[in-house]
Chain A
Amino acid sequence: MAAEKAGGATEYILHHQTFLSNKPPHGIVDFTVINYDTVFFSVLLAAVFFGLFWLVARKATTGVPGLLQNIIEWIVEKVDEQVRDTFHGTSRLIAPLALTIFCWVFLFNFMDLVPVDLLPLVGRGAGFEHLKVVPSTDLNATFALSLTVFILIIFYSLKMKGLVGFVSELTLQPFKAKNVLVQAVLVPVNFILESVTFLARPVSLALRLYGNLYAGEMIFLLIAVLTLSVGLHSLTTFGGVVGTVFKIIGEFGLGLVWTVFHILIITIQAFIFAVLTVVYLSMAHEHH
């Protein structure tokens, strides 16, 4: 969406930052609002992930695998290796969970590589004023992932250590004392320290992914603002056709460079999310 008037850059970015929701939100938390675009794209990407993997799983051959099966098996094997390296217990959940997180988050992030204006343009054609296509630039999506992981962490901590073990882990370390009175003083200190550590996990998981992808998308937007949108606008004011051509090439060049770099970021972010989840869950399984 090229800016239609001077100072349109701000409007252009704000327009891109707005979700397609049932109504404008009021305040930070408003559970009557729903972002249709985030839900639509994440369900679509979930279907892509599940469809691809299910297709392979359904007729997985033990003989020579085809191309698709090969790729899928490679991913599964890498995830399995990673989980085996980190997690030493037996769990039927953790490896599939890691696979789900890695693939789903990767697909979320991959939407960032689709040209920023392409799908919103299509959406506008279909009558949607706003459309945010990257689910991981929505805090709701990243927090949904990390809070689910957090619930699993609590569930497995309680299951493996019991309530007493879980509480003592939160209160009896890192400071220990042999004297009971001193220990009683240390318990609140420990609890504050440990609960901060504990609560920081879902927050850092969600914010890390969100921040990286938000920034990535913002840079695509800025590239678009600095070159193409302004270029189209200035077609009639200054620079003329030659200036516009330069700006189009600039848009393409900068966009290409950032896209190539971004491929690395989106993969690493998906990987980090999956690995940290495995690490946290294996910590929940371990006894101290």
Chain B
Amino acid sequence: MNINLTLIVQMLVFALLIFGTMKWIWPHILSAMEERARKIAQGLAAAEQGEQELAAARGKAETIVREARERANQIIDHAQHRANDLVEQARSTAGTEGGRLIAAAQQQIQLDATRARETLRREVAGIAVAAAARLLGREIDAKKHAELLDKLAAEV
């Protein structure tokens, strides 16, 4: 075991190797690693941002749906009110119309009854005259007794 020229040669080789590693290996590998770390960090940040955006969009969508639902309910309520109103209105119109019709019909009935009574009275007067003529055995001069007959007919 002795110290010899190998020492010097080894030192030269070592120095060269250090230089080579420093110049051609270390920076390249480290920069690649750092670049990758940066990329991953970016990717993670982007993913997080995307997640946040998704949550925000989800919230917004929920709000919109809720608002739409409320609006729909409002519209339905409104429509129901309107329908009720219409029905009420129709009912009242129908009631008035019916009353009017009933009144007209009653008037007509009264008119008819009066007319019928008049006819009946005349017929009764005729019958009464005929009966009286038969009882008296002679013709009653209708012209003479017209006043009396009319008075009678009015009493019937």
Residues of A within 8 A of B (CB): 17, 21, 25, 27-35, 38-39, 42-43, 46, 49-50, 53-54, 56-58, 60-63, 65, 72-73, 76-77, 80, 92-93, 95-97, 99-100, 104, 135, 138-141, 143-145, 147-148
Q: Would B25 and A53 count as touching, CB distance under 8 A?
A: yes
- Given A60-B29, A99-B21, verify A33-B5 contact (CB < 8 Å): yes
Contact string, B26-56, partner A, CB cutoff 8 A, digits 1/0? Answer: 1011111101100100000000000000000
| Interface pair A62/B13, CB less than 8 Å apart | no
Q: Could you say which residues of chain B place their CB within 8 Å of the CB of A95?
A: 26, 30
Hey, which chain A residues are within 8 Å of B13, CB to CB? 39, 42-43, 46, 144
- Which A residues lie within 8 Å of B28 (CB)? 57-58, 60
CB-CB < 8 A to B35: which residues of A? 62
Total contacting residues, chain B, CB less than 8 A: 31
Q: Tell me which residues across on chain B come within 8 A of A30, comparing CB atoms.
A: 2-4
Instruction: Say whether B131 faces chain A, with CB atoms less than 8 Å apart.
Output: no
Total A-B contacts with CB atoms under 8 angstroms apart: 130
CB<8 Å pairs between A and B, sample of 21: A28-B3, A29-B3, A34-B5, A42-B10, A46-B17, A49-B17, A50-B21, A60-B32, A61-B32, A62-B35, A63-B36, A76-B26, A95-B26, A95-B30, A96-B25, A140-B6, A141-B6, A141-B10, A143-B3, A144-B10, A148-B11
Given A50-B20, A92-B22, CB of A148 within 8 Å of CB of B4: no
Once the chains bind, are A148 and B14 in contact (CB under 8 Å)?
yes
Contacts A42-B10, A46-B13 given; indicate if A57 touches B2 (C-beta within 8 A).
Answer: no
Task: Tell whether, in the assembled complex, residue B29 and residue A27 are in contact, meaning their CB atoms are under 8 Å apart.
Answer: no
Which residue of chain A has its CB nearest to the CB of B9?
A39
Query: In the complex the two chains form, is B5's CB within 8 Å of A53's CB?
Result: no
Min CB–CB distance B6 → chain A (angstroms): 4
Q: Does B1 contact A (CB under 8 A)?
A: yes
| B7 is an interface residue with CB less than 8 A from chain A | yes
In the complex, the chain A residue whose C-beta lies closest to that of B39 is A62
Query: Given that A53-B21, A96-B18, A100-B21 are known contacts, is A35 also in contact with B6, CB under 8 Å in the complex?
Result: yes
Q: How far is the CB of B133 from chain A (nearest CB, A)?
A: 139
A38 to B10, CA, bound (A): 9
* Contact (Cβ within 8 A) A31 B32: no
4 extra interface residue pairs, beta carbon distance < 8 Å, beyond A33-B2, A53-B25, A54-B24: A32-B4, A57-B29, A144-B13, A144-B14
Query: Do residues B3 and A38 form an inter-chain contact, with CB atoms below 8 A?
Result: no
Query: Would you call B15 an interface residue if the criterion is a C-beta within 8 Å of the partner chain's C-beta atoms?
Result: yes
